[in-house]
Amino acid sequence: MNPCIITCAITGAEVTKEQNPAVPYTAEEVAKEAYLAMQEGASIIHLHARFDDGTPTQDQNRFKELMDAIKQKCGDVIIQVSTGGALGMSRTERGQVLDLSVEMATLDCGTVNFGGDDYFVNTVNDITYFANRMNDCGVKYELECFEKGHVDTALKLNRQGIIKAPMHFSFVLGVPGGMTGEERDFMFLKDSIPSDSTFSVAGVGRYEFPLAKLSIQHGGHVRVGLEDNLYLEKGVLASSNKDLVRKVKMMIIENGRSVATVKETRQILGMRE
């Protein structure tokens, strides 16, 4: 099988140090966690920006500070910035990071409930806005899909020439209010995308490792990290993102695949060398 890409979502916008002290906030902490994840095999670092007190932000200057710190410590690792930001942020606020020299970014493909009164809004106009911005900037997008309707929206925009091929999907499953992370859900989404597309799976909470195994076995790729799951196993907090990356790396090897290098990742995803 083809090499398996590991993406590590090192910090997120919502998880806190109160939940797990390893969640990084500062530039120094973020760079260290990115480096440790890269050392274990992550070729993509999925990045949200936070201020030193943990407050989420899409501020350009803060993103640049974090990106520079990661590049200085990690060299050629791929930094995938989030345009999702945090709940309640405007389209313009979320997209300002694209004004930086960005190689890869997430493109959320639909609205999803996040439990209670929280909901993450991505209208068709939002999706089109971000796709056009990324096309203009030469940014490789990862199409984040929380359920089947999001996949259908991405495919429709692809037919309209707004979302360009080759398409790389990320199935984010197990979010409260979104699609669950059972095997049937994964298979449904996997079988809904074109055969020339690539896909990765991000399982939230208890779904992280079961979905990682399924994706590995079906030729896909994997995202892990403290943004999605704070535990190495039930009742045992991960001491770092590296614990989660190391666990999925062993799953990849046990299933007869290799871990993709940064160079292989760019080739697999059709990115610029």
CATH number of the domain bearing residue 54: 3.20.20.70
Q: What are phi and psi of 113, to 5 degrees?
A: -75, 145
Local mean pLDDT, 10-residue blocks, the chain (273 residues): 95 95 98 98 97 94 97 96 83 91 96 86 95 96 97 98 97 94 97 97 97 98 98 96 98 98 97 76
* Identity of the amino acid at 250: M
pLDDT for the residue 273: 63
**Torsion angle (degrees, nearest 10) of CA 13, 69, 142, 191:** -80
User: Which regions of 22-131 does DSSP assign to beta strands (E)?
Assistant: 44-47, 49-50, 56-57, 78-81, 104-108, 112-113, 119-120
Domain for residue 1, yes or no? no
- Length of the chain equals 273
pLDDT for the residue 30: 98
Domain for residue 273, yes or no? no
Domain for residue 205, yes or no? yes
Domain for residue 53, yes or no? yes
Domain for residue 123, yes or no? yes
Q: 153 lies in which domain range?
A: 6-268
Q: How many domains does the chain have?
A: 1
Say how far apart CA 102 and CA 80 lie, in whole Å: 8
pTM of the model: 0.96
Domain for residue 248, yes or no? yes
